[in-house]
Structure 1
C-alpha cells in the first residue's frame, strides 16, 4: 500500500526525487500554476502512455536506499495479490476450496496447498497483512528519527505535513482510475462480472459512482463502506487510511516518553488491538511502528539490554522467524470460524491460540506471519538481496497502480480470455457466450498451473503491467507531488522581523 515519504520509505521515490515533467510548479501565482499544469500535462500524458522512460537506458542504476528491500517486498506482495485473484477467479468452487484450505483437507492433496508453497498461489491475504506492517514501518520512519533526536518542533511539522497529504495521496489515484473505468464500461457497453449495474444515461452512472466514492473516502462513515462497485479489491484503502491515523496519533502521543516507556506503550498498543479488541489491522500498523523503533535503536546500538543477550543467536532466530512466517502465512481462509480451521490438517492445535476478540481467525495468524516476515527479511541476506533485484524494485515502483488496475483488467479482459480457453462459468455462458471455447486449451497440469490457466497470462500480464505503468506515471506519482506542493502553498510563512 502507498505511504507518505519523508526519509526512508517504500514509495517509488521520495517526494523530491520523483521524475517530473518539467520545473516544479510556482507556489503562489495561480496564472503561472495554470500555465505549468497545461505544459506539464501535455508532456506528462505522452510520458504516461509510452513505455520509454525520461532517463536514458545508458544511465547507471541508482544506488539502493537502505530500505530498498521494503520496496521489493511490497512489490512482490502486490504481484501475489494479482496472482491470487486470478487463481480464485478462473477456477471452479471445488478447486477454490482446495486453494483456500490446507494440504489434505477433505482428503484433497494438491501441490498448490502444501505448506509454504501455498503462499505463492493463495498469498493475497498474507500480502495485504504485509502491506500494513510495511506502511506502519515507513510512515513512522522519519517521525521516529525526530523523536530519537528530541526534535519536537520538527516532529510537529512532519506530522502536520503527513496528515495534510495522506488523504490526497491515497484517494487521488482511486478517484481517477475508478472514474475512467466507470466511463469505459458505460461508453463501451461491455459486460463485466464485477458488481457494476448498467445505467440508462452516463449522468446516472456518474452520479452512482460519485455516491459510492464520497462514502468510500469518508473514514468515519458508519454506514455501508468497504466495497466499491467499480473496484471491490480496494477495500484495504480505507483501512490503510485508518491505520495511518493510528500511527500519526501514536507517534505524537509517545513522542515525549522515555525510550523504554515508549517501547512498552507501542507493544501495549499492539496487544490492545490484537487481544482486547478486534483491531487486527491497527495491530499490524502499530507493529510496523514498533519494528521501526527497534531497528533505529539497533542501528545506534541503543537497544534495551534485554535484546543484547540474544545477539549470539541472531541468525538462528531470524531464520526461525522466517520459517514460522511462511507457515502461518498459508492460513486457510475458506472460513472465518476457528472451529472450521481445526478441520484443516496442521492447524488443529494452532486454532486454539485465537483470541476471543478476533472475529476472522485468519487475520490473527496473518498478523504474526507478516510481522515476522518484515522483521526477519533485512537479516536474511539472500532474501534481502532477492527483494533488491531490479525486477522486485520495479514491482515496488508500480505496486500501488498494479493493485488498482489488476481487478478491472481481470473483469473486462480476463473473463473473456478464460472463457475463450475453456474455463466454464455460468455467468460467462449467460453474458459472453460468443467468447466461450473459442480456443479451448487442455486443463492438464497441477492445480493453479494448468495450461489453460497460464496461457491467458501471456496477454493479461503485459496488459496489466502496461496499465500499471501508465497509472503510476499519470496518477500515482503526481498524487505524491501534488499534495506536497499544496501543503507548501497553503502553509503560513514565518513573519519577517523588522529590519
Structure 2
C-alpha cells in the first residue's frame, strides 16, 4: 500500500502539496531535511585549515551549530535544490501561494500598528496609492488568511479524493485515520514549542526590554498588541502556558480569537484550522462512497448550511475540497510536472484556447479585486458601496470576510487554469516562503516584539516620529526587522517544523497495532 499509509504524510502536514509521483524517496528527502542540515556541505574544505579546532569536539559542535543558524538559502546549491526541487508537482504552485500569503500576513501585522491599513482607497477622502485595490493586498492579512484556509482544505482533501475517485476505499480509510491522528501533533506541537520559547523569554526578562515601546502611541500610532506579561511566579507563568495550550483544543467552541491571545494573538487561526480539519475529515468520510454527483450535492448542502451560519472558515475548507475534485475531473493533475518559473509552454493559437485564457485571466482579476475588500468602511468606500450592500443582513459578524472569502475561492480556482500564474508561484522565492510558511506564521509575532521593536525604536530615535520622518524611520527599521523574522522562521522550520512531521509519523507507527 502506498499514498496515505501510516508511513506517508498528507500534503498539508508536510507543509507542501503532493506531487503526482510522490515516491517514498521524495518523502524521506523532504522529511530528513533538518537532519541533513546538521552536516555542513563541503565542511572538510571549510575546516581544513583548522585541524587543531577539529580535534576539540565541542568546537566542532559549535561550528556545526553556527552553520545551522545560517539561512538555508545561503547553505549552498544542494540545500537550495531541496528548498525548490528541479521537478515540481502540478500542485506545487499552491505551496508557493501559501508562502506569499504567509509573508503578507506578516506585513499586515508589521504595518497595522503604525498605519491604518484596514481601509481602502477613497475612504474619507484618502487616496493614497498604496491603498488601491490589488496594491493593498501586500498587507491584507485577513484576505491572506482566507487563502490559507482554501489551500488547507485543498491539501487535506488531495489524496483522500484521489482514493475515492479510484474506488480505493482501503487506502482511503487508512490514510484518513492517519491524517486525523497526526493533525493535532502537526498543528499544536510547533505552536507549543514557539509559545514555550515565549514564556522562557518572558521569565528571562527579554520582553521587558521592549515593553515601554510596546505601550507608547508615540511610536505605535494606530494599534498596540498585548505584550506578554511577566507574572509574579514561574509557577503561575507555566500554568498560564498550560491553560493556553489546552485552550487551543477547543473543538466544541466556534468562537474566534481564543486560546493564545496572552502569548501570541496571531495564533488564533490554529484552533480554527484544527476544528475545520476535523470537520473536513468527517465530511470526506461521510461522502466517500457516494457517486460524484451526489457527493457534490451533499457538499453543496453542507456548504449552504455553513454559509447560512456565517462560518466562512469552514466554508473555505469545503471549497478547497470541491476544487480538488473538480481538478481531478478535468484532469488537471495528469498533464505532467509543473513548469519552473521562466519556462513557457508551447503557445496554442486556437480561438477556443485564447477565449479560455482571457476568461480565466478575468476571473483571476475578479478574485484579486474581491480579496482587496476593505476591512472597514466598505459602505463608504468608492468601488465597494454596492458590493457591501449585497452582504446579507444576517452576516452580522466580520462582514469584511464575505467578499474576501469569495475572492480567495475565485482566485485559487482561476490560478488552477492559468500556467503563467502557476509559474509565478513556482518561482524560487515563492517556493521558499511556502516551505517556511508555518514557521513564519509562528515566529513573526514574538521576533517582532523582541527584535523588531528594538530596531524600530533605535531608528525612530534617530529620524524622529513626526511627519515624513516617521515613515522614513519605519522603512529603515524594516530593513532590519524583516530579515530578522525571516531568519528566525528559517531556523525554526529546520529545527522544529520538519522534525515535528517526522516525529508525528514515528509516534503513529509506534502505536499502530500489528495484526
TM over 0.5: yes
Provide the aligned C-alpha RMSD in A. 2.9
SS of 1:345 mapped into structure 2: coil
Once the 2 structures are TM-superposed, how far is the Cα of residue 465 of structure 1 from its aligned partner? 1.1
Distance in 1 between the 2:78 and 2:464 partners?
44
Q: Return the match for 2:270 from 213, 218, 237.
A: 237
Gap regions ≥5 residues in structure 2: 1-7, 19-26, 37-60, 215-225, 335-351
User: CA offset at residue 378 of structure 1?
Assistant: 2.7
- CA drift at 1:474: 1.5
How far off its partner does 1:227 sit? 4.2
SS at structure 1 position matched to 2:416:
helix
Match of 1:188 in 2: 205
The residue number in structure 2 matching 1:459 is: 480
Find the counterpart in structure 1 of residue 69 from structure 2: 49
- CA–CA distance in 1 between the matches of 2:462 and 2:356? 57
TM-score of the superposed pair, with normalisation by structure 1: 0.81
Match of 1:18 among 31, 48, 52: 31
The aligned counterpart of 1:198 is 230
Unaligned runs of 5+ in 1: 24-40, 303-309, 335-339, 423-436, 495-499
**Alpha-carbon distance, 1:381 to partner:** 2.5
Q: For residues 464-486 of structure 1, what are the alpha-carbon distances to aligned partners after superposition, in whole Å with 9 as ceiling and x for unaligned? A: 11110111011111121111111
- Residue in 1 that maps onto 2:114: 90
For the residue of structure 2 that corresponds to 1:199, the secondary structure is: coil
Report what 1:29 is aligned to. Answer: none
Instruction: Determine the structure 2 residue equivalent to 1:419.
Output: 457
Task: Using the TM superposition, give the Cα deviation of residue 267 of structure 1 relative to its aligned residue in structure 2, in angstroms.
Answer: 2.6
The correspondence for 1:81, drawn from 105, 113, 136, is: 105
Give the length in aligned residue pairs.
Answer: 437
Change (3 A) 1:43 1:237: farther
Question: Of the candidates 125, 137, 148, which is equivalent to residue 119 of structure 1?
Answer: 137
Q: Does 1:144 align with 2:176?
A: no
Per-residue deviation, 1:279: 0.9
2:44 matched residue in structure 1: none
* Residues 33 and 494 in structure 2, CA contact (< 8 A), matched pair in contact too: no
CA distance in 1, matches of 2:125, 2:445: 32
2:251 counterpart residue number: 219
Residue 418 of structure 2 is aligned to residue 380 of structure 1: yes
Q: Is 2:451–2:484's contact at 8 Å kept on the other side of the alignment?
A: no
Give the distance between the partners of 1:442 and 1:456, measured in 2 at CA.
Answer: 15
Counterpart of 2:48 in structure 1 is none
1:444 Cα deviation (Å)? 3.3
Whole-Å Cα distance in 2 between the matches of residues 48 and 164 of structure 1? 31
Q: Are 2:195 and 1:178 aligned?
A: yes
**C-alpha displacement at 1:294, in angstroms?**
0.1
Report the CA distance between 1:20 and its aligned residue.
4.8
Deviations 1:423-474 (A, max 9, x none): xxxxxxxxxxxxxx245488539x9xx3222211221122111110111011
SS in 1 for 2:486: helix
Tell me what 1:133 maps to.
150
